[in-house]
Amino acid sequence: MEHTCQLYLISPLEVGGTFPQRLDRALGAGKGLASAFQFRVKGVDEHEAARLAAPLQEICAAHDVAFIVNDSVPLAKRLKADGVHLGQSDGTVKDAREKLGRDAQIGVTCHASRHLAMEAGDAGADYVAFGAFFPSTTKATEHHAEPDLLTWWQSLFELPCVAIGGITPANCAPLAKAGADFLAVSGAVWNGDEVAAIEAFAKALGQ
């Protein structure tokens, strides 16, 4: 079976206003290219986050796209989200699993570390995220990962891996080729025309 690589969309920090319509258009454009969406807001309380998440969660469900909450296990539980994405300081996979149940998709940021990724896998994570592969406009880059990390992971483990950090239609093909199961993208989609961006990714990935 040929290795297919899908998109993992990460929300911009501003998810109110017209963003639900933009998300709907983006998910409609790829015809299955994007299979997960990460809800990532900063500096709002859980009640406000839940209010912002509600329409986005419905849109994801309509497109059969997993709705993943960034950082917050309590918010993921409150929303009955499909999963949670944990940074290295956001608590343990074991704790998240106990609170969210066995069907939750739990992902872990592993930066450029083989050790952290193996630990996450052993702890029962559903996917690991490596990066940053390129300088990102969305987040300050502390860790730099090389494509051979994806190849190494793919050759040894069944667990899906996500590549993150400054990924665009112009630079994504080598990461897919190296073995990324998912490409986490944010700015490359939301900083312009989201439909054109998704179509450009589909073309670059040969899908």
Task: Kindly state whether residue 87 falls inside one of the protein's structural domains.
Answer: yes
Distance from C-alpha of 124 to C-alpha of 121, rounded to nearest angstrom: 5
pLDDT of residue 136: 75
- Token pair, residue 85, equals 């994405």
186 closest CA partner among 201, 203, 204 = 201
SS3 category, 20: helix
> Which 8-state DSSP code applies to residue 122?
H
Task: Kindly state whether residue 51 falls inside one of the protein's structural domains.
Answer: yes
Q: Are 201 and 176 in contact (CB under 8 A)?
A: no
Range of the domain at 116: 6-204
Phi then psi for 15, rounded to 5 degrees?
Answer: -115, 10
> Which 8-state DSSP code applies to residue 57?
H
Task: Convert the pLDDT of each residue in 161-180 to its tens digit.
Answer: 999 999 999 999 999 999 99
Which alpha helices (DSSP H) does the chain contain, by range? 19-30, 46-62, 73-79, 93-100, 114-123, 147-156, 173-178, 187-190, 194-204
CATH for 170: 3.20.20.70
pTM of the entire predicted model? 0.96
Q: Which amino acid is at 108?
A: V
- Token pair, residue 95, equals 């704790």
- Looking at the structure of the chain, the number of domains it has is 1
97 closest CA partner among 77, 119, 69 = 77
Task: Kindly state whether residue 1 falls inside one of the protein's structural domains.
Answer: no
Task: Convert the pLDDT of each residue in 94-144 to its tens digit.
Answer: 999 999 999 999 999 999 999 999 999 999 999 999 999 998 766 676 789
Beta-bridged to residue 161, according to DSSP, are: 128
- Residue 31 above 50 pLDDT? yes
Residues in the chain: 207
Task: Kindly state whether residue 23 falls inside one of the protein's structural domains.
Answer: yes
Tell me the mean pLDDT in the region 183-193: 97
